[in-house]
A and B are shown apart, each in its own frame.
Chain A
Amino acid sequence: MRCNPILWLVLALFAAACAGDETLLGPSVACDTTNRGRLLLFAQAVPAAQSIPCLGGLAPGWEIREIETRTGEAVLHLSEDGSDVEATATLVGSCPGVTVDADAGGVMLLRDMPMQGEHVYVFTGGCVRVSFGDGIDGGAVEELLGSIGFVSRDDLRALSGWEL
C-alpha cells in the first residue's frame, strides 16, 4: 500500500519538530520484493548496510532506466517517459559529513535545503542519496520519494534464504 505523501510529510514535520533536523522513518512503503535479484545485489554491493532501498511502485510515467551496481555502490536511475527528467537513488556505505547513532535503528531522513535538490536517508551501515535532475517539479519529487522504501537486511535474509 502506498503511503499518503501528505501524511508522510506531516509525520516528518512532527518528527522534525521533536528531533531537530533529523526525521525517523518507519517502513512506511510496502516494497515490491518480487525482484529479489536486484535487492540481493544491492545488499551485496554495500555489505554493511542494514537497510536496502526498494521501490513500492513507481509514480505513473516513471520507469527504471538503468541499474548500476559495483563494489561499494548501487544506483537506481529513474526517468520520466518521454522527457529528459530523471532522478537517481544511490546506496553507499557512508555519506560525507553524516554520522548515525548506532542505536537509532530504522531509517532517518535528513532534511536538506530545498535548493540542494537532494534527500539523504541514513541508516546503520549506509545511506541513500536521492537526487533529482533539472526540470522536475515539486509534485513529482514528492511522488518519487513516496515510492522509495526500505527493507531490512534481516527481513531480506528471511525472505530469500540467503546469508548476505
Chain B
Amino acid sequence: MADTAMPPTGGRDSLRRRRPSGEPAPLPKEPLAGSGKAWTAVALAVAGLFALLLSPTELFLGSGAWWNSVDAELTGWFVTVRTSLLTDVALVIDEIRTDWFVTALRWGTVAALVGFRRWRHLIVFVGAVIFTDTLVVGLSNRLARPRADGVEILTDWSGFAQPSHDAAALTVTLVAMVYALVVPGRPRRSALISISVVLTILGLARVYLAADRVTDYATAMVIGVTVPLMAYRLATPDAVYPVSYRRGKTAHLDLSGRRRAAMVAALRDQLGIEVAGIEQFGLEGSGGSTPLRISVLDGGYVFAKLYAKNHLRSDRWYKLGRTILYGALEDESAFRTVRRLAEHEDHVMRLMVEAGVPCPAPLGIVEITPGREYLLVTEFLEGVSELSDGEITHPTIDAALWTVSKMWDSGLAHRDIKPANILVGSERVYLIDHAFGEMRPSPWRQAIDLANMLLALSIHSPPKVVYERASEHFSQMELAEAFAATRGVTIPGELRQAMRDRCPEALREFRSLAPPHPPIRIQRWTRRRLLVLVVLALSAAAAVWLVALNRSIVGQLL
C-alpha cells in the first residue's frame, strides 16, 4: 500500500510557494513604470489646462489674460538682459529647430530603422511624429494665441504661438529617435538626459529671442515627450521588443536584471527548483523562443524555453505567410496568447512521452509575466549532441526512423524535423522542440515528417544507405508518398541550407530510389487563403492611395 501520510510541510513541496491574491507577478506588466507615470501626470495636467483655455469658463486659470501676464513678465526679464553677443549665441542655438535639421533627423531615423529592419519601431516613430505634429497644429489653431506683444522678435517664426510647433517637432523627433535607436538602460537614460539639456538650452534661447514664450515652449515639450514615450512603451515595450545591437536573432530576449531575478523566483516558487545559474543555450537552431540551460543548486541542469509576445507575433506572421504561400492545408491557426503557445508545447511533449517517442520529459510551465512571458521547463539531456555533430551509424538511422514510425502509430506529428531538433547520443535519437507538434495530423503532414527525417539523415549518410534502412520501417509506397509531397516550402529553412551545402542532390536521389508517385499538390485555394489575399491587396492599394492623396502633408511632416 502506498504511503499516503502527509509530510511535515502539510502536503506541499517546501520550496514551492503559492502567490497569494494581490501579490504582483514575478515580472509585472508596467509599461508606464517610472518616468512614464510622471510624464502621464504632467500630460494630463497640460491637457486639463488646454481644456480650460478652450472652454468658456471665466476661471482665471482658464483666462488667456492671466497666462499672458505671467508670460509677459518672464519674457520681459529676458529682454532686459539682451546683448549683441547673447543674441548671436541664441540665434546659432535656434538653428537646431529649423525645418531642414528636423527633417534630416527624421529621415535619418527612418533610414536607420529600415536598415535594422525594426519595422514596429519604424511604424511607431512615423505615427508618433505625424500624430504630434497634427495635434500641435490643431491645438494652436484652436487656441489662436498670437506671439509675444511689445517685444521685438529676433528670429523668424511661423504659426500661432501655443503650443510651439518648432519646439514640439524637435522634441518628438529627438525623443522618438532615442526610443527607437538607443539600447534601454543606461545608454537610453544618458541620451534622454542629453536631450533634456539640449531642449532646455534651446528653450532659453527661444524665450530670449521672444520667438516663444515660456508656456508656449513648455506645453510643446510636454506633448513632444509624452506622445512618443507612451507610444513606444505601449506598442513596443522593451521587454517584448527590445532595442539591441547584439548579434543574434530578435527572438532571443535579454536575460539580465529584472527578468533574470523574476525567473529565479518563479522557478523556485512554482516548480521548487533552486537556480544556481541561467545561460542561453543552443541559440543557433532556435528562432521561435529563447532557449536556456538552467543549473540547479543541488547539481545538474534543466532546460527551459522562454516564450514572450514577440514569439507569438513571429508565430502569427509565419502562419500567415504559409497560408498565403500554399494555403491552409490543415486549418492551421495562430496561437492567441503566449500562455496557449507554452501550454500547447507542454501538452504535445507529454503526449510524445506517453506514446514512447524519445524526447525530454516536460517538468512544467512557469509564469513570469501573466499573459506575456512563460518558461517551458524540461529535463536537460546529458551526453547528446545535435545530429550535425554526432556520429551517424546504422543503429542511429534506425532509431531516428523508429521515432517517425512511433509518431505515425500514435497519431502525432512533429512538423519541424531538422538537424537542430534531432539529438543523438549512445545510438538513441531524441526529438526536441515540439512547438509545432500536432495531434491527428493529416496524412500529408505525416509524409512530410518522414521525408524531412530522411533528408536530415542524408546530410551525413548516403541517401542510398538511408533509403535502405528506411525500407525496413516503411513500405515503398509510403516512402514514395513522402517524396512526392516534398517541396522547397515543406523543408525547414535550416535543413534546406544544410542540403544545399552538403547534399544538393539528395531529394532527387531519393525520388529515383522510390517508386514513381504523382506529385502531391500542396497549393490549395481555400476561402481563408482567398480572403487573406484580397485583404492584403486592398490594404496595399489603400495605403498607396492614402500616401498619394496626402503626399504633400507627409512630405511636409517628414
Contacts and interface: CB of A to CB of B under 8 A. Distances in A.
A37 B156 contact: no
A67 interface: yes
A67 B157 contact: no
Interface in B135-162: 141, 143-147, 149-150, 153, 156-160
Contacts of A35: 144
A86 to B, nearest CB: 14
A65 B158 CA distance: 17
B483 to A, nearest CB: 64
B149 A41 contact: no
Contacts of B157: 70-71
B158 A164 contact: no
A48 to B, nearest CB: 13
Interface residues of B, number: 14
B145 A37 contact: yes
User: Which of the four size classes fits the interface of chain A?
Assistant: 10 to 19
A131 interface: no
A162 B72 CA distance: 12
Nearest to A163: B150
A69 B149 contact: no
B147 A37 contact: no
Contacts of A68: 158-159
Nearest to A41: B146
A40 interface: yes
A70 B146 contact: no
A38 interface: yes
A44 interface: yes
A37 B67 CA distance: 14
Contacts of A38: 144
B141 A41 contact: no
Interface in A103-157: none
B145 A70 contact: no
Nearest to B68: A162
B149 A164 contact: yes
Interface string A45-80: 000000000000000000000011111000000000
Contacts of B144: 35, 37-38, 41
B150 A37 contact: no
B146 A44 contact: yes
Contacts of A163: 149-150
Among A37, A38, A69, max chain B CB count under 10 A is at: A37
A49 B141 CA distance: 23
B169 to A, nearest CB: 15
A69 B150 contact: no
B143 A69 contact: no
A71 B159 CA distance: 9
Nearest to B65: A161
B160 A37 contact: yes
B146 A37 contact: yes
A108 B149 CA distance: 28
A69 B159 contact: yes
A162 B160 contact: no
B137 to A, nearest CB: 10
A156 to B, nearest CB: 11
Contacts of B160: 37, 41, 69
B65 to A, nearest CB: 9
Contacts of B146: 37, 40-41, 44, 162
A162 B143 CA distance: 17
Among B143, B146, B147, max chain A CB count under 10 A is at: B146
A129 B149 CA distance: 26
Interface of B: 141, 143-147, 149-150, 153, 156-160
Given A35-B144, A70-B159, 16 more contacts: A37-B143, A37-B144, A37-B160, A40-B149, A41-B160, A44-B146, A68-B158, A69-B159, A70-B157, A70-B158, A71-B153, A71-B157, A162-B146, A162-B149, A162-B150, A164-B149
Chain A to chain B: the 5 pairs with minimum beta-carbon distance, closest first: A37-B144, A70-B158, A40-B146, A163-B150, A41-B146
21 contacts: A37-B144, A37-B145, A37-B146, A38-B144, A41-B144, A41-B146, A44-B147, A44-B153, A67-B141, A68-B158, A68-B159, A69-B159, A69-B160, A70-B156, A70-B158, A71-B153, A71-B156, A162-B149, A162-B150, A163-B149, A163-B150
Interface of A: 35, 37-38, 40-41, 44, 67-71, 162-164
